[in-house]
Amino acid sequence: MTSGYHSFLGLAFMSLCYIQLVSSTSDVYIVYLGLKDVQDPILTSDYHLDLLSGVFQRKEDATRSMVYSYKHSFSGFSAKINSTQAATLAGMEQVISVFKSRTLRLHTTRSWDFMGLNLNPTADNSNPLQLTHGDNTIVGLFDTGIWPESKSFHEEPNMHPIPRTWKGKCVSGQNFNPKTACNLKLVGARYYLKGYELEHGPLNASETSEYRSPRDANGHGTHTASTAVGSTVKTASFFGFGQGMARGGAPRAWLAVYKVCWGDGRCSEADILAAFDEAINDGVNLISASFGLPPPLLPFYYSSNDIGSFHAMEKGISVIFSAGNSGPNPSLVQNVAPWSTCVGASSIDRNFPTRIVLDNCLSFLGESFNTKHIDANLVGARRYFRGGICNMDMWRNRSAVGAVILCFSTQGPVAIEDAEVAAWIANAAGLIFVDSPTRQYVDVDIIPTIRIDMIQGSKLYSYLSQSITNHTKVRIFPSKTVIKQSPAPVVADFSSRGPSAISPDILKPDISAPGISILAAWPPGISPTRTDVDQRSTEWNFQSGTSMSCPHVSGVVALLKSAHPDWSPAAIKSALMTTAYNKDKNYDTILSGGTNEESSPFDIGAGHLNPLKAMDPGLVYDMNADDYILFLCNNGYTKDQIKRIVSLHPGTNVNCPQEHTTNANLNYPSITVSNLQSTMTIKRTVRNVSYKKTSIYFASIVSPHGVEVTVWPRILFFSYFSDESSYYVTLKPQKLSQGRYDYGEIVWSDGFHTVRSPVVVCVNTATDLAFAIDESSQPLDQSVAGA
Ligand SMILES: *[C@@H]1O[C@H](CO)[C@@H](O)[C@H](O)[C@H]1NC(C)=O
Ligand SMILES: *[C@@H]1O[C@H](CO)[C@@H](O)[C@H](O)[C@H]1NC(C)=O
Ligand SMILES: *[C@@H]1O[C@H](CO)[C@@H](O)[C@H](O)[C@H]1NC(C)=O
Ligand SMILES: *[C@@H]1O[C@H](CO)[C@@H](O)[C@H](O)[C@H]1NC(C)=O
Ligand SMILES: *[C@@H]1O[C@H](CO)[C@@H](O)[C@H](O)[C@H]1NC(C)=O
């Protein structure tokens, strides 16, 4: 049925032999032991201490070095130890993996880190789902905490009482009083700091505006929480922009906040794993987390996000991650485990056009959140910056008071944030920033900044060059909010693209959702650009990033959980994916920002989130322990390890196939074969979840270029007696290729439901050439090696 996949052996061995480099200093390491085998948390903790004591002379030292004991939902601990001790622990039979706790990053696009400043924006209410409001669902949000006073976290009318089964807590801390902060909306708030402080030093809560409590000192967590579950607020806007009603995807869902990231946007893996351990035990129904690290990706059992989300999934808890902001180049997608959902970002149909008029005649259109009329001299960057390069290093120390500076991204090249800071230092009245249109999206700025494209920018530039004085009068008008713009959606250029670097047979990202210029709640004590130079205060702010798209999906997952409490995380993901659309509002294929070409599944996954359709998908691709066992085998786990990780039902067989096989056979809602060498058949199983009494589904197929796809059977029947059916997909390469991805789809339809799976195939029939070169030990040509 499946072809052997020698190329996966390399990956498997690599993960088995993964070793931390030797260092004599102590670091925070995570020691992962698999599923909790002891029912009693106290006994489990004692057991962890015993294990750790094995690498210390005295038990007191072991106690002192222990950071967290993970003992509720899975078993493991983190400790401050040196590499020798880590290696000793890794050699113990009961230990599955030992890895150094890394620092993950929030997935927002803008970075002011070079100035010691950092940013994050707001969310939006683009999912007006009427069917349910997320009742009876608890959303666990792993982020920078919460600003509980925001109207987004007031109780909605008719909120249900908190369920008795809820074990979460609202803990007190600096500027955080559980009695006033928590209510029927915000039902839990915890924070995790030990790992962060051991890795980055004490928090310095007094000198910075950080809080040793669940209170948000960054804005990111408040923003993502209000996007996912924010209560209805009648009027919201950012200084008049994006005015309208604000609400999260699931306004009546309960919110439980787990603060694992801090004001600087950094999050320690030791803390993240502690949050997973407690959140799963507390009883959340889903977890939303907008952080990660770009490749190199480590094997799944060396990553807190992947370990935590695995155990969450086993308890029926959906975990939704952001894909990262490393686009548009391929293969930089993050959070790629098949048991979690990975979300890319796209635009919505809203623009903020801003008119620029030169000398009372020539008119240009850009985008900004500009609130004022600006009358000034427009001056080229050369006057202020050497080489016309708009950054601080190139500043000629000339004051730009009364001037709007024209800057090009291509000179330098410079990022818009750099240009803004440089123009601000020069005291400019404003900035016109010219960039490729595919890279531009409007954002909140520290000085009035209007983004224009290269064509208009070039016209401005030549007009300016012809002026004898090197400047000209410019008038900039306040920006407007315009909706129903097209094309929309467009995939954000920054959204991380597939294929997954560690499991290319699982399509990632899974889905895309709005993540550009999203308006959502903001702590009024934090300026909208999160810089000291910005004196503004706002309760709503715009933010962009896959950080913002992730909670859109989380909100919809809360609605799905509320409507279908019995659906597994895999079934919910399937509903999201098979109903997603890949055509924009004009029925054209959704464009991919960054290239302005038609998007592929590596840009948007199965497509763009379609909340109403996801409520009633007709069929779902579910997954169970067997599916994950095959996946874990393929990823280098041994039979014994798998037994200790997967909660097995009696009768489940843990049998890894002799050879590593393709993960294309996982019952995933998308089909990816990253190395098709010869004809291959894979199997999928779908289950009826529609309310119709009988249904007949017909397959329609679009074959990827150069691959013949056949589906058998072509008709699936569901009745009271059989709610599950399998079908087989045969992929037959019809071309000679050394590795080029082509895209098609399989769609099942009963005339009412449309169940669509993207089919992604990389034909690799010309591998003989690669072996020939390999054997003659010549250096591999990049195009062959990369195939
Ligand atoms: C690591 O710590 C142990 C126990 O404190 C010590 O015996 C050992 O020498 C240390 N190893 C290194 C490389 O520093
Ligand atoms: C706190 O301040 C100390 C000394 O100023 C510094 O070394 C440390 O890195 C700071 N901690 C954080 C988390 O910023
Ligand atoms: C600009 O001024 C700073 C001090 O304000 C000085 O250190 C720097 O050398 C000056 N740069 C130029 C290009 O004059
Ligand atoms: C205009 O700019 C050019 C080059 O940037 C410079 O050589 C020239 O002196 C400037 N003219 C005036 C009037 O400033
Ligand atoms: C499909 O499943 C639903 C419940 O999930 C059931 O109500 C319906 O009758 C089933 N339809 C068929 C054709 O079996």
CA of 580 to the centre of ligand 5 (A): 22
> Could you tell which of 58, 63, 84 is best to mutate to test the pocket of ligand 1, judged by most ligand atoms within 8 Å of the CB?
84
- Please give the Cα distance from 378 to 403 (Å, whole number): 6
In this prediction, residue 324 has a pLDDT band, given cuts at 50, 70 and 90, of very high
- Please give the Cα distance from 257 to 279 (Å, whole number): 9
**How does strand 353-358 pair with strand 233-238?**
unpaired
Residue of minimum CA distance from atom 12 in ligand 1: 24
pLDDT, residue 638, reads 85
**How does strand 695-702 pair with strand 738-749?**
antiparallel
**E-state strands within 551-636:** 591-592, 597-598, 619-620
How deeply is 182 buried, as exposed, middle or buried, from its count of CB atoms within 10 A (0-12, 13-18, 19+)? buried
- Please give the Cα distance from 487 to 181 (Å, whole number): 42
| 722: DSSP letter | B
Tokens 């051991």 correspond to 198
Digit-coded pLDDT (tens) for 179-193: 999 999 999 999 999
CA dihedral 530, 532, 535, 540 (to 10 degrees): 10
Q: Computed from CA positions of residues 228, 234, 238, 243, in that sequence, does the dihedral angle turn out positive or negative?
A: positive
Give the distance from CA 129 to its chain's centroid.
22
8 Å CB contact between 396 and 386: yes
Task: For 336-381, give the DSSP string.
Answer: --TTSEEEEEE--S-B-EEEEEETTTEEEEEE----S-EEEEEEEG
- Please give the Cα distance from 361 to 328 (Å, whole number): 38
pLDDT, residue 645, reads 87
- Please give the Cα distance from 673 to 738 (Å, whole number): 14
Kindly list the protein residues whose Cβ atom lies closer than 6 A to any atom of ligand 2. Answer: 200-204
Residue of minimum CA distance from atom 10 in ligand 4: 470
C-alpha dist (Å) from residue 196 to 269, 526, 560: 8, 22, 34
Q: Computed from CA positions of residues 513, 519, 521, 522, in that sequence, does the dihedral angle turn out positive or negative?
A: positive
Q: Computed from CA positions of residues 386, 387, 393, 399, in that sequence, does the dihedral angle turn out positive or negative?
A: positive
- Above 70 in pLDDT, residue 111? no
8 Å CB contact between 479 and 370: yes
Q: Is 782 in the pocket of ligand 3 (CB under 6 A)?
A: no
Q: Computed from CA positions of residues 87, 89, 95, 99, in that sequence, does the dihedral angle turn out positive or negative?
A: negative
| pLDDT, mean of residues 116-120 | 26
Which CATH number is correct for 670-787, 2.60.40.2310, 2.40.70.10, 3.90.1150.10, 3.30.70.660? 2.60.40.2310
Q: Specify the CATH number of the domain 353-480.
A: 3.50.30.30
- Above 60 in pLDDT, residue 241? yes
* Closest ligand 3 atom to 396 CA: 13
End-to-end CA distance of the chain: 23
> Could you tell which of 723, 725, 752, 753 is best to mutate to test the pocket of ligand 5, judged by most ligand atoms within 8 Å of the CB?
723
- Above 50 in pLDDT, residue 223? yes
**How does strand 403-408 pair with strand 103-106?**
unpaired
pLDDT, residue 476, reads 97
Digit-coded pLDDT (tens) for 619-674: 999 998 878 888 998 888 888 888 888 888 777 778 887 776 788 999 999 999 99
Q: Phi first, then psi: what are they for 562, rounded to 5°?
A: -65, -40
One-letter amino acid at 188 equals G
Residue of minimum CA distance from atom 13 in ligand 5: 694
Which distant-in-sequence residues (6+ apart) come within 8 Å of 397 by Cβ? none
Residue of minimum CA distance from atom 5 in ligand 3: 397
- Please give the Cα distance from 500 to 508 (Å, whole number): 6
Digit-coded pLDDT (tens) for 535-557: 999 999 999 999 999 999 999 99
CA of 697 to the centre of ligand 4 (A): 72
- Compute the C-alpha angle 749/755/757, nearest 5°: 125
| Domain ranges, ordered by start, for the chain | 3-100, 128-349+489-615, 353-480, 627-667, 670-787
C-alpha dist (Å) from residue 87 to 22, 62, 326, 449, 451: 9, 16, 33, 53, 52
**Lowest-pLDDT range, 31-45, 167-181, 549-563?**
31-45
* Closest ligand 3 atom to 397 CA: 1
Peptide bond into 499 cis (omega under 30): yes
pLDDT, residue 24, reads 64
One-letter amino acid at 30 equals I
| pLDDT, mean of residues 702-726 | 94
In this prediction, residue 677 has a pLDDT band, given cuts at 50, 70 and 90, of very high
* Closest ligand 5 atom to 720 CA: 14
Digit-coded pLDDT (tens) for 734-777: 988 888 999 999 999 999 999 999 999 999 988 655 544 444 44
> Could you tell which of 117, 144, 203, 204 is best to mutate to test the pocket of ligand 2, judged by most ligand atoms within 8 Å of the CB?
204
pLDDT, residue 555, reads 94
Residue of minimum CA distance from atom 2 in ligand 4: 470
| pLDDT, mean of residues 359-373 | 93
pLDDT, residue 658, reads 76
| pLDDT, mean of residues 520-542 | 92
Query: Residue 448: which of 376, 386, 398, 517 has the closest Cα?
Result: 376
- Please give the Cα distance from 173 to 212 (Å, whole number): 6
CA of 205 to the centre of ligand 2 (A): 10
**How does strand 318-322 pair with strand 291-292?**
unpaired
**Lowest-pLDDT range, 113-127, 153-167, 641-655, 666-680?**
113-127
CA of 470 to the centre of ligand 4 (A): 6
More confident: 208 or 229: 229
- Please give the Cα distance from 305 to 111 (Å, whole number): 23
- Other Cβ atoms closer than 10 A to 180: 9
8 Å CB contact between 157 and 271: no
- Please give the Cα distance from 602 to 674 (Å, whole number): 12
The SS3 of residue 451 is strand
Q: Is 396 in the pocket of ligand 3 (CB under 6 A)?
A: yes
In this prediction, residue 782 has a pLDDT band, given cuts at 50, 70 and 90, of very low
- Please give the Cα distance from 513 to 784 (Å, whole number): 35
User: How are strands ordered across the β-sheet holding 619-620?
Assistant: 619-620, 680-688, 724-733, 707-712
- Above 90 in pLDDT, residue 586? no
Which class in CATH covers the domain with range 128-349+489-615?
alpha beta
User: How are strands ordered across the β-sheet holding 715-718?
Assistant: 671-676, 754-764, 738-749, 695-702, 715-718
| 184: DSSP letter | S
Q: What six digits make up the tokens of 509?
A: 């990202």
- Please give the Cα distance from 775 to 82 (Å, whole number): 42
pLDDT, residue 122, reads 29
8 Å CB contact between 491 and 345: yes
| pLDDT, mean of residues 99-118 | 60
Query: Residue 369: which of 438, 430, 457, 458 has the closest Cα?
Result: 430
Which residues does the annotation mark as catalytic?
143, 220, 547
The SS3 of residue 36 is coil
| 594: DSSP letter | T
CA of 534 to the centre of ligand 3 (A): 24
Q: Work out the mean pLDDT of the chain and round it to a whole number.
A: 88
More confident: 596 or 506: 506
One-letter amino acid at 197 equals E
Q: Phi first, then psi: what are they for 752, rounded to 5°?
A: -125, -50
| pLDDT, mean of residues 433-441 | 84
| pLDDT, mean of residues 67-78 | 96
Q: Which helix (H) or strand (E) holds 195?
A: helix 194-200
Which class in CATH covers the domain with range 3-100?
alpha beta
Q: How many CA atoms lie within 13 A of 197 on its CB side?
A: 12
In this prediction, residue 4 has a pLDDT band, given cuts at 50, 70 and 90, of very low
pLDDT, residue 113, reads 28
In this prediction, residue 721 has a pLDDT band, given cuts at 50, 70 and 90, of confident
- Please give the Cα distance from 312 to 328 (Å, whole number): 30
Q: What six digits make up the tokens of 385?
A: 């910056």
Q: Residue 380 CA: which ligand is closest?
A: 4
**E-state strands within 9-136:** 27-34, 66-70, 75-81, 97-100, 103-106
Residue of minimum CA distance from atom 8 in ligand 1: 84
Digit-coded pLDDT (tens) for 385-420: 999 999 999 999 999 999 999 999 999 989 999 999
Q: Is 719 in the pocket of ligand 5 (CB under 6 A)?
A: yes
Digit-coded pLDDT (tens) for 243-268: 888 888 999 999 999 999 998 899 99
Q: Is 386 in the pocket of ligand 3 (CB under 6 A)?
A: no
8 Å CB contact between 150 and 578: no
* Closest ligand 5 atom to 723 CA: 14
Radius of gyration of the chain (CA): 27
Query: Residue 730: which of 750, 701, 755, 756 has the closest Cα?
Result: 701
